[in-house]
Amino acid sequence: MSDYSRLRERMVKRQIAGRGVRSGLVLDAMRKVPRERFLPRGQRVFAYDDSPLPIGDGQTISQPYIVAYMAESLALEGGEKVLEIGTGSGYAAAVLAEIAAEVYTIERIEGLATLASTALEDLGYTNVHVRCGDGTLGWPEEAPYDGIVVSAGGPDVPDTLKHQLKTGGRLVIPVGRSKAWQELIRVTRVAEEDFQTEDLVPVRFVPLVGEEGWSQEF
């Protein structure tokens, strides 16, 4: 077992399972995905620390526990179609791809989208599809989705994303009126125009920029 593999096993035991994540699918995915491959070389020594890390362009790769918690909050059972907003380095998309049949992921920063696509292709994730664009508008051609996860904090839940859920599907997104904090919430589509919302945990994410998010100047 490599040093990274040992660190990954310890991360799952202490940071993920040790903090309450119970989904076997999520725990297995976290054990499989090499987080170091989604980081700049200078950051790889910190790959399994319990913290977010910079990946360039003012963006971060989320803390492993938050990636696992958000994935578990989608309540996936395997084989679903999932939309991710905020590809970043591609790490969370890889975790989701270990569970879902197809993952569609959108990144507004072209350089990050390119790097993420390359990393995912190098690791053989043929079921992940990367697009550069405005994530607040979703990926309508592939809708509806069983789950949508947003890795950036918006002022409100984008109405367009809610309506790209299947009935019974779940959207997990950080929402808050400042950069300092957000509340992670889960929206479940229970009927055509009926959505139930739950507050999950306080979080802090980079801003969700786009037509149905914050302006570029925020």
Predicted confidence (pLDDT) per residue in 124-164, tens digit = 999 999 999 999 999 999 999 999 999 999 999 999 999 99
Whether residue 83 lies inside any domain: the answer is yes
| % of residues, the chain, pLDDT over 70 | 98
- For CA atoms 26, 213, 188, 180, give the dihedral sign: positive
Gap between the Cα atoms of 202 and 204, Å rounded: 7
Tell me whether residue 21 is in a domain: yes
What's the predicted TM-score (pTM) here?
0.95
Which residues share a beta bridge with 131? 106
pLDDT at 216: 76
In a domain, 216, yes or no: no
Specify if 75 maps to a domain.
yes
The reply to whether 209 falls in a domain is: no
pLDDT tops 70 at residue 176? yes
What is the mean pLDDT of the segment spanning 63-77? Answer: 97
Q: Which amino acid is at 52?
A: P
For residue range 84-133, what is the model confidence (pLDDT) as tens digits?
999 999 999 999 999 999 999 999 999 999 999 999 999 999 999 999 99
Per-residue CA distances from 74 to 63, 101, 135, 187 (Å): 17, 14, 18, 10
Question: Can you tell me the mean pLDDT for 47-56?
Answer: 92
Share of the chain above pLDDT 90, in %: 91
Please compute the mean of the pLDDT values over residues 64-73 and round it to a whole number.
97
Number of domains the chain is built from: 1
The verdict on residue 214 lying in a domain is no
**Which residues belong to the active site?**
62
CATH at residue 188 = 3.40.50.150
| Confidence tier at 177 by pLDDT (50, 70, 90) | confident
In a domain, 125, yes or no: yes
Whether residue 63 has pLDDT greater than 70: yes
Does the residue 111 lie in any domain?
Answer: yes
Domain that includes residue 21, residue range:
3-203
